[in-house]
Amino acid sequence: MNLSDRDRAVNWHPYTQMKTADPIIPIVKGHGLYLFDDTGKQYIDAVSSWWVTLHGHAHPYIAQRVSEQLHTLEQVIFAGFTHEPAVQLSENLLKLLPKNQEKVFYSDNGSTAVEVALKMCIQFAFNEGKEKTKILAFKNAYHGDTFGAMSVSGRSAWTQPFGEMLFDVVFIDPPTPENLDELKSIICKHPNEWACFIYEPLVQGAAGMLMHHPEDLSELMRFCRANDILMIQDEVFTGFGRTGKVFAADHLQEQPDIMCFSKGLTGGTMPMGITTASRRIFEAFLSEDNYKTLFHGHSFTANPLACTAALASMEILMREETLAAIEVICKKHQSFSEHLMRHPKVEKVRQTGTILAWEIKNDNRTSYFNEIGKVVYRKFIKRGIIIRPLGNVLYLVPPYCITREELDIVYRNITEVLDELEASQ
């Protein structure tokens, strides 16, 4: 049996209908922008392997640092103990975040980073003797697949089987100049009841790379602050350079109370989640009363190997050449987006930083389940390019190591696939 057959015999893959799925592609090696299958075919990873591989695959510096750490300390319980990589990572990260972020809580992925943030906000009110249980979130949001994260995500086919088990959330549209007054009036209907407002800043990734403007989000955040509503900024996707700045927070005029990170945190090397909080949040849990403790943790909390990978990834991110590479991707995306706008098979082109998205015109509505996505995915796989559509929404989220020439190759193939679709009508 080959690797693909062995896999199908034992594994259950995420977001995959195993009965109708295409044959699994067995990857045996990664290097920089490229992945290689068991036949030697190479693929351009244009989506950074689900948005995590910031600097490319098997980055030698991250591998070296993790290897060195593996020979020093691989794991230690983080309740009652600490270690240098965790302390150093917290120090380095907090220096880059809004000044009010002062404490770091470690977990193991983006969903749990969000779970922690929600629990912090709800227990914050509880510890202060207040009953605040309402949560505000954006329509079409995606914050993860655990129950709390699903609850604050937009209701969809993904969450339908669990609908009766999810807690109530008030969903609002992302802000625009036209709807800000309406959003504020919704908030004012429930004075002193809001536990928090959770949002993806600037880009709603899984919703189809839907984008809103920093000025409008800043205004909504300012109104929440004036009404003493805690704000959770989910930077699991947008963090670490994706929006063209180090964090989406760098585009905003207001500061959140809590921030969530994962995906690119370790450069795609291994799982890790982080939730940061303001001192005000932290101090609500400081008490002689043990019942006011934040009772949350994971066996691998602040794993030294993951912390080391994150430290190495952040070092690479902050190098001048990496920041310059991000700027190149942003500018080339902007230029290519103008080309896309003129194509007869394309509509609703949108770009923020290194994220470029567009929709394919077809007879079916915009949806994750639009079958055109499978057609297009197969066309790109045949060409040796990994572009994983969200239904009829196509997007690019490349690693920062991609060169101008490699971007041009991807752009050229996109144009050719769109031309094929147009010709097949």
Report, as residue numbers or ranges, the catalytic residues.
15, 142, 234, 263
Half-sphere exposure of 4 (CA within 13 A, CB side): 11
* C-alpha–C-alpha distance, residues 45 and 34, integer Å: 6
Q: Which of 257, 255, 262 is nearest to 283 (CA)?
A: 257
Contacts of 381 (CB under 8 A, 6+ apart): 25, 43
Cα 72 to chain centroid distance, Å, stands at: 31
Is-contact 189 207, C-beta < 8 A?
A: no
Q: Which of 271, 217, 278, 269 is nearest to 243 (CA)?
A: 217
Token digits of residue 6: 């062995």
* C-alpha–C-alpha distance, residues 113 and 96, integer Å: 18
Ramachandran sector of residue 241 (left: φ over 0; alpha: ψ -120 to 50; beta: rest):
left
Beta strands in 302-360 (DSSP E): 346-352, 355-360
Q: Is 45 helix (H, G, I), strand (E, B) or coil?
A: strand
Amino acid at site 322: T
